[in-house]
Amino acid sequence: MKQIPHICYFILLLAPVAQAKPPIVGDPAGDFTLPHFQVARPPINNKTHPDRAMHADLSTFADEAWILPIRSSHLSPGRITSRTLSMPGLRPFFLVGDDPQSLTWLRQRAAELQEMDAAGLAVEVTDTEALARIRAAAPDITILPVNGNDIATRLQIEHYPVLITATSLEQ
């Protein structure tokens, strides 16, 4: 039996590693993953300003019926006791329902809510018509249907309508 010199073993071991041109990450000619991950790369938009907060207008979805009805079992229409809060940086928001008390409150405070750029959460909404009535009471304010149970638990509230700011909880 012939012995293969050690140098031949060494060459055979290095052959797969030794290539004419090493692959470069992101190189379209040598990157076989490109078709799979090309979509994952975010588009470049020179008009974005990462240092500025951006708010999405979620009220423009074509069909919100899939999320309705919204029921918040920890909340009901009623009176609340105002109190101070300490939540620096919190953007003002409010909780309402499709009940007459909420709609009246919303109509009366719409200008003030818009001035403070408050976001609205409809925590009790039966259908798309009820959501339309809520939005009609304050047409220039974004109001989204959301379950309010977690907010009610965290802020220890039982009733709506209510305005929550960085410094207070009030009706």
**Residue where the block lists tokens 């959301």:** 146
Query: pLDDT tens for residues 86-127?
Result: 999 999 999 999 999 999 999 999 999 999 999 999 999 999
Query: pLDDT tens for residues 9-30?
Result: 556 555 665 555 555 555 555 5
pLDDT for the residue numbered 48? 52
Q: Which domains does the chain have, with CATH numbers?
A: 58-170 (3.40.30)
pLDDT above 60 for 151:
yes
CA distance 78 to 171: 10
Mean pLDDT of the chain: 80
pTM over 0.75: no
Q: Which of 102, 145, 100 is nearest to 126 (CA)?
A: 145
Query: How would DSSP label each residue in 2-27?
Result: PPPPHHHHHHHHHTTT--SS---TT-
